[in-house]
Homo-oligomer: A and B are copies of this chain.
Amino acid sequence: MFKRILIANRGEIALRVLRACREMNIETVAVFSEADRDSVPVELADHAICIGGNAPRESYLRPDRIIAAAEVSGADAIHPGYGFLAENAQFADMCRECNIAFIGPSAEAMRMLGDKATAREIAKKAKVPVVPGSEGIIESDEDLAPTAEKIGYPIMIKASAGGGGRGMRIVRDRTELHGMVKQARQEAKAAFNNDAIYLERFIDQPRHVEVQVLADSQGHVIHLFERDCSSQRRHQKLIEESPSPAIDARTRKYLCESAVRLAKTAKYVTACTVEFLVDSKLRYYFIEVNTRIQVEHPVTEMLTDADLIREQIRLAAGEPLSIAQKTVMPHGHVIECRVNAEDPSYGFRPCAGLIERFRPPGGPGVRVDTHAYQGCRISPYYDSLIAKVIVHQPTRLDAIRAMQRALREFVIEPIKTTIPFHLRILEHERFVEGQVDTGFIERSLL
């Protein structure tokens, strides 16, 4: 096992990793930018090293400084957290060259799964459903109708050179196909001087459901069930929960087994998340793999009593999984809300500044992961997440009520947070019914 882990991150995830290390009797090295000098992980770490200025590109995004810090502090492993360098394959390479363990997958696995096309090929090889499509551009309009038929309607026409929605069209049935393709080509030609298009099944009002996977270097791969992250604003997750209220036991089984097959096929080691879109008919489609620990990992931890960070560290050290698939016992219902220092009344603009009053919620079934404290300063240089509140209850309705209770007693002053917005989501009829797709918040609450 590692003796000393350098935590190449900040904020709540740095604290989360530090807690796991302490519980494993592993020493910790915190690295920090000047803005984070008074932060909790820096205070609690066994060793702390300032690596640069406040801008991430001068500190947390500097592989050279982080590796130098690992070298001078004698750390034998680096935990990258999420964000920053967590999915930077070059950084993983550098760690390996310097004989420092990178707590994550190999650089090869990261590159393979980080590339959308390669990941799609691996999924197909693992017999995991992907969003059906034309597999490349449509050369001749004669191929259009048969290809569309094979994909199945509704269909999305996408410009090959596309972006920003231009050259995109949704085709509901075959009668619209040729007309829409003509329009799309014209638009694409005008916008990109390239009228090449391809076709893809259009997933209408999908759920975002992801599966937590753990894999050891001995070839064992398990899943820890799913998380439903459909409550999003501009692709930013706001609320995550498990079990997904949208899927049935049979879909859950297929989904989770698909994720395991995919990770096995990729010969993946450590923790990853396999993301899917699920449509209203419970058909699911692989979209991507996140080769790191995720912000919302506590949802799975509360649901299953597993400790994902401790497990991730063990797996990176070459140890076998400490959990067998059959001992993973999800129980009850878990919801997480991400409390961001943002003002929902002003387009969610970030609110930096001094926290003068801070009183996190507590009591039964409540977990709080936060690096904030009364008297700390939320700096404008980094992301606005200041706390994750996670509740665990026997039923989803209990969990919604417990989350309302917890958020209502959470005091953060004077900066604005997303708490009032979360409370609006939690009491919305469609959320309470579990009827949330990825567009719900933008359609109903903004």
Residues of chain A whose beta carbon lies under 8 Å from any beta carbon of chain B? 15-16, 19-20, 22-25, 40, 44, 298, 301-302, 305, 307, 309, 329, 331-332, 357-360, 362-370, 373-375, 392, 394, 398, 401-402, 404-405, 408-409
Partner of A363, one of B19, B24, B358: B19
Cα(A24)–Cα(B404), bound, Å: 11
A298-B408 CB under 8 A given contacts A305-B394, A332-B305, A401-B23: no
Contact A367 B358 (CB under 8 A): no
Contact B374 A307 (CB under 8 A): no
Contact B370 A362 (CB under 8 A): yes
The residues of B that contact A398 with a CB separation of less than 8 Å are 23
Distance (whole angstroms) from the CB of A326 to the closest CB of chain B: 15
13 cross-chain CB contacts under 8 A: A16-B364, A19-B363, A19-B364, A19-B405, A23-B405, A305-B331, A305-B332, A305-B392, A305-B394, A360-B362, A363-B369, A364-B367, A367-B367
Contact B22 A405 (CB under 8 A): yes
Distance (whole angstroms) from the CB of A214 to the closest CB of chain B: 15
Partner of A298, one of B329, B364, B373: B364
Cα(A86)–Cα(B439), bound, Å: 51
Cα(A402)–Cα(B16), bound, Å: 13
Cα(A438)–Cα(B368), bound, Å: 34
Residue ID in chain B nearest A44 by CB atoms: B409
Cα(A44)–Cα(B23), bound, Å: 34
The residues of B that contact A332 with a CB separation of less than 8 Å are 305
Partner of A40, one of B23, B40, B302, B359: B359
Partner of A331, one of B329, B364, B405: B329
Interface core residue of A364, A365, A394, A409 (most chain B CB under 10 Å): A364
Cα(A375)–Cα(B302), bound, Å: 31
A359-B373 CB under 8 A given contacts A305-B394, A401-B23, A408-B22: yes
Distance (whole angstroms) from the CB of A337 to the closest CB of chain B: 15
Cα(A370)–Cα(B366), bound, Å: 13
Distance (whole angstroms) from the CB of A146 to the closest CB of chain B: 53
Distance (whole angstroms) from the CB of A251 to the closest CB of chain B: 25
Distance (whole angstroms) from the CB of A1 to the closest CB of chain B: 14
The residues of B that contact A358 with a CB separation of less than 8 Å are 374
Residue ID in chain B nearest A358 by CB atoms: B374
